[in-house]
C-alpha cells in the first residue's frame, strides 16, 4: 500500500489557529494572571512556546512556560520498543496556577491522562485546561480539550503529523494514510 | 570365549615396530597371529578397513570415585566409560573414601573391577596415610596387593623431607611416585589460571609458578634419591622445560599431560563455565603450545585424562564453589587425533603416549600386540565425525567442557582380555 | 535508540551509545529526587527483589529507594536471613524466588559471575548490584554520571583510580565504562594490588601515585577492604596511607578543578584524608545522590526490556 500524505493545515493556517487559541485562552481566563503554559514533549512544548510568544504580543506579558515529559507516567511500559525518556522542565511552582496544557494532536487521551498525573505530582494547580492543535477523535478516556485548533475526523490507522522546522516553528499538519 | 579375526586394519604396534595394514587374530584371549590374508573358521570376523588397530589404551590417571563417591562414578560406570573411550586399562587415584592407603580398599577395587568392570583397573596407593601428608602409607604391602604407583593426587606432598623419603621408600619396592605438583601457598585460594582472563572475570588466579616451584623441588628430589618421579598433569611451559632438562641429565623423571590442557586455554572459563574448572587449571596459549611441543619431542611420556567425575550438585554452582575436575575417558582419543591431523604427532607417537609408555611407567602388562600377548586392544576409526553430546556420555557424570563439540575419530571397538567390552561398530 | 538488553549484568554488555542512553535516562529521573513528592508511577505493579548475599547498606538502600520512587514493590532479602545459610544452593534460592514472579531481581553476591549465573536461570530481569571482584555496573554508571555532571563531558578527561585494583569490582566496571566513554584512565596502587593484564581492559598503569594524579581531572580513591585481604598485600594501613593515600598535598598535583571521588564507605585517614574527604573538590555525596537516579534508570530499562529479545 502506497503511503499517501495530504496537507491539512499549512504554515499560516497553523499560525492563525494558534493565534485564535491564544485569544480564547486570554478571554476565558480574563488575562494572564496566574496563567502558565506547559507543553507536552515533543511537539506540545514547541506549540506552547509559540502560544507564549503570541500571548506576549497581545498582552505584553510573558506567561511562564514549562515542558513536561510523560514517559514515566505511561501505562504501556513493556510493550514499547523505545524506552527513551525526555526531561520535565518546570521551574515554577504549580500551586494555585491555571495550567494550560498544550499538545499537538489529541487522539486516545492517554497522553493527556499521563500528563495530568504528572502535573498533579508536581503541585496542586487551581485548574488544568487543555489546548490542542488537532483533535483527531478516537478517545479512550473521558478527556475533552478546551481549545482546539482544528477538528479532524480520521480513521484509526491514519496518522497525523505536525511538522516543525529547525527553529521548532510549526510549518504544517499532514494526514498520512 | 570366541575367537576374533580383525581384517585389513592398520595395525600400529610401536613396541614391535609394526605399522602396516594386515589382519590380527585373537584366540583364547591372546593375540595369536598378525599377518596378511589370515583365515579362521571359528572366528568372528571384523572388517577394519580404514581403521587403526592398536594396543589397548592405558589411562594412567583416572578418578573412579569408588568407594565413597559412587553418586559421581563407580567402578562399573567408570570402566564402561573407559571401554567406550578405547581404554582397556586404567590406573585409579587413591582419593576415595576410604582412601587407598590400606590393603582392604586396594583389594576391593581390584576385585570389583575384575568381577563387574569393563577394563583392567590398577589402583594407585596414597603416598601418605589419609592423604594427610604426615606419615607414609604401607607401600610395600600395597604394592604386593596390586597398587602400581603412589600418589597423593589432588594434594601436593608439602613436606619436602616426606617427599624425599616417599621416593626412596617407593623405589625400594620398584614403584613410581606420581606427584601432584602445586605450591599451595602460591595457589592461595585461586580458582583458575592467573592472567588477563582471571583479571577480567574477577576470579582469583593461580600463577604458573605454583606448579613450577613444586616441579623444581620434586625433580631435585628425584636427582637426590634416584627414585622414579612421575609428574602428573604438567600444564606449564616451565614445568615441561624442567622435565626436559631432567631427562637430558638422565634422571628418572617422567610426566603426563591431559587432553584438556593441550586442547583448551583459560579462555574456556569465560561465561564462568564450571566445566572448565580443574586443577591444574587451563593455562595460557603459550602453555598449551608448550605441551604440544612436549608431546612431540618426547618430553611428555603419556597422555592421561585426569578423568574426574562430579555430579551437577558440585558443578552447577558459583564458579568459586565448583569442584575441580572434568571427565575425560571418552574424549581423549578424538582430542589426541586432533594433534595427529594437525601433523603434530604421528599415529605411532599417539600409541606410545596412550599405551606403550603408560604401561612402562606403571610396570603393567599391555602396550604391545606381540603374538602371545593378552589381547587388550583398541580399534579406532580416525575419520568418523560426531558431536559429543550429553546423552551419549557413558560416564555417570557429565562434567565436560567438550560437550557439544564436533569431533573426528574415536574408538569403535575395545577388547579386553580377548572379550569385546565396547562395540561401536555394529551399533 | 533501541535499547536491547534484558539484564544489567555488567558494563561489558553495553556500547558507548547505550551507556550514554542510560546516563541520559538517569538525567530524567534525577529531577524526581528533588521534588516534594518523590514518586512516579512508572513501575507500578512491578515487584523488585533486592537479593543481597553480602552486606551493603549503601547500595541496597539506593536500589530500594530507586524502586520505591518508581512505585515498584521492593522486597529485601539479605544474606543473613536467606536460605543460603541453611545450605541451599544459589540455583534453588533463585528458583524459589522466581516462583514468586518478581519482575526484577537486584543481586549482590560474593562470587564473581553470580549475576551471569542467575540470569541464565531466570526469566525475570537480573540487575547486578556487584558480583565478587567482577563487575559493579551501577556504581560505574553513577560515577560517570557524576563526572559528566561536574565536567560536562567524559571524553578526553584524565581519570586516576588509586587503590586495591585486584579486589575491586568497581574498578573493572569503571575502567570499561570510562574507556568506552573516551576517558584516559590511569591506575595506581601497590604492585601487590595490581592484577596481571589489567591494562588490557583499557587503562594505563602509572609508575607512581604522583604520576597518576598529576594533571588528573578526576581522582577516584578506592576503599581498602580490610576484610578482603590477607596479611601479605600491604604491611600496614599506616604505610599504605603514606604512599597511596590522597591528601591535601598530593591532590595539588591534580588539575586545580579536579574532582575527588570515592565509592564509599571511606576509611578516613587511610586512603583519603579528612581534609580531602570534606574539601571543596570532593563530590562523594553527589555520587550517592546520583546513585538513586542511575539505579532508577537501570530498573526502568530492565523492566521495559520485558518483551525484548534475550541478550
Question: What whole-number distance in Å separates Cα of residue B355 and Cα of residue B367?
Answer: 5
Residue C80 is predicted with a pLDDT of 57
Q: Is the pLDDT of residue B302 over 90?
A: yes
Q: Which pLDDT score, from 0 to 100, does residue C56 have? A: 87
In tens, the pLDDT along B314-360 reads: 999 999 999 999 999 999 999 999 999 999 999 999 999 999 999 99
C175: left (phi over 0), alpha (psi -120 to 50) or beta: alpha
| CATH (residue range C137-284) | 3.40.50.1370
Enter the ipTM. Answer: 0.90
Amino acid C94: pLDDT: 85
pLDDT at C90: 87
Whether the per-residue pLDDT at C1 is higher than 70: the answer is no
Give chain A positions within 8 Å (CB) of C299: none
Q: How many residues does chain A have?
A: 177
* pLDDT above 90: residue B41: no
Q: What percent of chain C has pLDDT over 90?
A: 79
* N-terminal to C-terminal alpha carbon distance within chain B: 21
Buried b / exposed e along C161-173 (16+ C-beta atoms within 10 A): bbbbbbbbbbbbb
Evaluate if residue B122 carries a pLDDT over 50: yes
Determine the pLDDT at residue C230: 54
CB C23 within 8 A of CB C93: no
C108 is catalytic: yes
Nearest to B52 by CA among B398, B379, B363, B271: B379
- For residue range C247-268, list pLDDT tens digits in order: 999 999 999 999 999 998 999 9
Which of C2, C40, C305 is nearest residue A73 as measured by Cβ atoms? C40
List the catalytic residues of B: 306
B103 vs A3: which has the higher pLDDT? B103
> What letter would DSSP give residue C6?
S
Topology at the third CATH level for domain C11-135+289-307: Rossmann fold (3.40.50)
Which residues does chain A have within 8 Å of residue C32's beta carbon, measured at their own beta carbons? 72
Using the predicted structure, report yes or no on whether residue C9 has a pLDDT greater than 90.
Answer: yes
Domains of chain A, start order: 5-75+84-176 (3.40.50.2020)
Yes or no, beta carbons of A79 and C307 under 8 Å apart: yes
Q: What is the pLDDT of residues B254-298, one digit of tens each?
A: 999 999 999 999 999 999 999 999 999 999 999 999 999 999 999
- Which residues of B fall within a CB distance of 8 Å from C198? 199
Q: Which residue has the cell 535499547?
A: C3
**C60, C136, C148, C151: which is the annotated catalytic residue?**
C136
A14-58 per-position pLDDT tens digit? 999 999 999 999 999 999 999 999 999 989 999 999 999 999 999
Whether C229 has a pLDDT exceeding 70, the answer reads: no
Q: Give the chains touching A; criterion: ≥3 Cβ pairs < 8 Å.
A: C
* Equal CATH topology for C11-135+289-307 and C137-284: yes
Three-class secondary structure of residue C2 per DSSP: coil
Going along chain B from its start, the domains and CATH numbers come out as 3-53+373-423 (2.30.40.10), 56-362 (3.20.20.140)
Name every chain A residue with its beta carbon within 8 A of the beta carbon of C37.
121-122
Chains B and C touch (3+ CB pairs under 8 A): yes
Q: What is the CA radius of gyration of chain A?
A: 16
| CA torsion through residues C29, C33, C38, C43, sign | positive
Catalytic pick among C7, C25, C46, C59: C59
- pLDDT recorded at residue C311: 39
Res C2 pLDDT > 80:
no
Cα–Cα distance measured from residue A8 to residue C108, given in angstroms and rounded to the nearest whole number: 56
8 A C-beta contact, residue C129 and residue C60: yes
Task: Report the greatest alpha carbon distance in chain C.
Answer: 56
- With a pLDDT cut of 70, the percent of chain C lying above it is 93
Instruction: For chain C, give every domain's residue range.
Output: 11-135+289-307, 137-284
Interchain proximity B202–C172, CB inside 8 Å:
yes
What's this model's pTM, rounded to 2 decimal places?
Answer: 0.90
Amino acid at each position: 500500500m502506497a503511503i499517501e500524505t495530504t496537507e491539512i493545515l499549512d504554515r499560516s493556517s497553523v499560525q492563525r489557529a494558534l493565534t485564535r487559541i491564544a485569544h480564547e485562552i486570554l478571554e476565558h481566563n480574563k488575562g494572564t494572571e496566574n496563567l502558565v503554559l506547559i507543553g507536552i514533549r515533543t511537539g506540545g512544548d514547541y506549540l506552547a512556546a509559540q502560544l507564549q510568544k503570541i500571548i506576549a504580543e497581545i498582552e505584553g506579558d510573558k506567561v511562564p512556560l514549562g515542558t513536561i515529559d510523560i514517559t514515566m507516567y505511561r501505562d504501556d511500559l513493556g510493550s514499547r520498543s523505545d524506552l527513551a525518556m525526555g526531561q520535565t522542565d518546570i521551574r515554577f511552582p504549580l500551586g494555585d496556577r491555571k495550567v494550560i496544557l498544550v499538545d499537538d494532536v489529541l487522539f486516545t487521551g492517554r497522553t493527556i491522562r499521563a500528563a495530568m498525573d504528572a502535573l498533579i505530582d508536581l503541585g496542586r494547580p487551581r485548574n488544568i485546561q487543555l489546548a490542542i492543535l488537532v483533535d483527531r477523535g478516537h478517545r479512550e478516556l473521558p478527556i475533552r480539550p478546551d481549545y482546539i485548533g482544528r477538528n479532524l475526523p480520521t480513521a484509526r490507522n491514519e496518522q497525523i503529523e505536525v511538522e516543525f522546522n529547525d527553529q521548532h516553528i510549526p510549518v504544517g499538519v499532514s494526514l498520512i494514510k | 570365549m570366541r575367537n576374533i579375526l580383525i581384517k585389513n586394519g592398520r595395525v600400529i604396534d610401536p613396541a614391535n615396530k609394526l605399522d602396516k595394514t594386515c589382519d590380527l587374530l585373537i584366540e583364547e584371549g591372546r593375540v595369536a597371529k598378525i599377518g596378511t590374508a589370515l583365515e579362521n573358521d571359528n572366528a568372528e570376523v571384523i572388517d577394519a578397513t580404514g581403521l587403526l588397530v592398536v594396543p589397548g589404551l592405558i589411562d594412567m590417571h583416572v578418578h573412579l570415585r569408588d568407594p565413597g563417591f559412587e553418586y559421581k562414578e563407580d567402578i562399573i560406570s567408570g570402566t564402561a566409560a573407559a571401554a567406550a573411550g578405547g581404554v582397556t586399562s586404567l590406573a585409579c587415584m587413591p582419593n576415595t573414601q576410604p582412601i587407598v592407603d590400606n590393603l582392604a580398599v586396594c583389594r576391593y577395587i581390584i576385585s570389583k573391577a575384575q568381577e563387574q568392570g569393563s577394563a583392567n583397573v590398577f589402583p594407585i596407593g596414597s603416598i601418605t596415610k589419609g592423604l594427610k601428608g604426615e606419615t607414609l602409607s604401607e607401600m610395600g604391602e600395597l604394592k604386593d596387593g596390586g597398587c602400581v604407583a603412589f600418589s597423593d593426587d589432588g594434594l601436593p606432598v608439602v613436606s619436602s623431607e616426606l617427599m624425599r623419603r616417599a621416593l626412596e621408600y617407593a623405589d625400594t619396592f620398584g614403584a613410581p611416585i606420581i606427584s601432584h605438583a602445586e605450591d599451595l601457598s602460591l595457589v592461595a585460594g585461586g580458582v583458575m589460571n592467573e592472567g588477563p582472563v582471571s583479571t577480567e572475570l574477577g576470579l582469583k588466579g593461580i600463577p604458573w609458578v605454583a606448579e613450577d616451584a613444586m616441579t623444581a623441588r620434586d625433580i631435585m628430589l628425584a636427582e637426590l634419591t634416584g627414585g622414579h618421579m612421575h609428574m602428573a598433569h604438567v600444564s606449564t611451559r616451565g614445568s615441561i622445560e624442567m622435565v626436559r632438562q631432567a631427562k637430558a641429565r638422565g634422571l628418572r623423571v617422567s610426566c603426563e599431560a591431559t587432553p584438556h590442557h593441550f586442547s583448551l586455554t583459560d579462555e574456556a572459563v569465560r561465561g564462568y563455565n564450571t566445566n572448565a574448572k580443574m586443577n591444574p587449571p587451563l593455562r595460557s596459549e603459550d602453555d598449551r603450545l608448550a605441551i604440544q611441543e612436549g608431546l612431540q619431542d618426547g618430553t611428555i611420556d603419556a597422555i592421561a585424562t585426569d578423568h574426574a567425575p562430579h555430579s551437577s550438585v558440585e558443578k552447577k554452582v558459583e564458579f568459586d564453589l565448583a569442584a575441580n575436575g572434568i571427565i575425560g575417558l571418552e574424549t581423549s582419543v578424538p582430542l589426541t587425533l586432533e594433534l595427529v591431523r594437525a601433523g603434530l604427532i604421528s599415529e605411532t607417537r599417539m600409541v606410545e603416549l596412550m599405551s606403550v609408555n603408560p604401561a612402562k611407567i606403571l610396570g603393567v602388562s599391555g602396550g604391545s600386540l606381540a603374538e602371545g600377548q593378552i589381547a587388550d586392544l583398541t580399534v579406532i576409526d580416525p575419520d568418523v565425525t560426531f558431536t559429543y553430546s550429553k546423552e551419549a556420555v557413558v560416564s555417570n557424570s557429565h562434567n565436560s567442557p567438550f560437550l557439544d563439540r564436533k569431533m573426528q575419530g574415536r574408538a569403535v571397538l575395545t577388547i579386553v582380555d580377548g572379550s569385546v567390552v565396547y562395540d561401536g561398530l555394529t551399533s | 535508540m533501541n535499547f536491547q538488553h534484558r539484564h544489567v549484568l555488567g558494563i561489558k554488555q553495553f556500547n558507548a551509545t547505550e551507556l550514554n542512553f542510560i546516563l541520559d535516562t538517569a538525567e530524567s529521573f534525577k529531577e524526581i529526587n528533588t521534588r516534594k513528592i518523590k514518586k512516579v508511577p512508572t513501575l507500578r505493579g512491578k515487584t523488585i527483589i533486592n537479593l543481597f548475599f553480602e552486606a551493603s547498606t549503601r547500595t541496597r538502600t539506593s536500589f530500594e529507594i530507586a524502586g520505591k520512587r518508581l512505585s515498584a514493590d521492593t522486597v529485601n532479602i539479605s544474606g543473613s536471613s536467606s536460605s543460603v545459610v541453611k545450605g541451599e544452593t544459589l540455583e534453588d534460592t533463585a528458583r524459589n524466588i522466581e516462583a514468586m514472579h518478581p519482575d526484577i531481581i537486584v543481586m549482590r553476591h560474593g562470587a564473581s559471575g553470580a549475576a551471569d549465573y542467575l540470569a541464565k536461570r531466570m526469566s525475570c530481569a537480573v540487575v547486578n548490584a556487584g558480583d565478587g571482584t567482577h563487575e559493579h555496573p551501577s556504581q560505574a554508571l553513577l560515577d560517570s554520571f557524576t563526572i559528566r555532571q561536574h565536567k560536562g563531558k567524559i571524553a578526553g578527561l584524565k581519570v586516576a583510580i588509586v587503590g586495591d585494583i585486584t579486589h575491586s569490582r568497581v574498578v573493572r566496571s569503571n575502567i570499561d565504562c570510562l574507556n568506552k566513554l573516551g576517558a584516559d584512565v590511569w591506575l595506581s596502587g601497590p604492585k601487590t594490588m595490581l592484577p596481571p593484564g589489567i591494562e588490557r581492559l583499557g587503562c594505563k598503569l602509572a609508575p607512581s601515585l604522583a604520576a597518576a594524579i598529576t594533571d588528573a581531572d578526576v581522582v577516584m580513591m578506592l576503599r581498602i577492604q580490610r576484610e578482603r585481604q590477607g596479611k601479605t598485600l600491604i604491611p600496614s594501613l599506616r604505610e599504605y596511607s603514606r604512599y597511596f593515600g590522597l591528601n591535601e598535598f598530593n591532590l595539588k598535583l591534580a588539575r586545580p578543578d579536579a574532582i575527588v571521588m570515592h565509592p564509599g564507605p571511606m576509611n578516613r585517614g587511610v586512603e583519603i584524608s579528612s581534609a580531602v574527604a570534606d574539601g571543596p573538590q570532593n563530590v562523594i555525596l553527589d555520587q550517592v545522590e546520583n546513585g538513586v537516579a542511575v539505579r532508577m534508570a537501570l530498573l526502568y530499562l530492565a523492566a521495559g526490556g520485558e518483551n525484548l529479545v534475550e541478550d
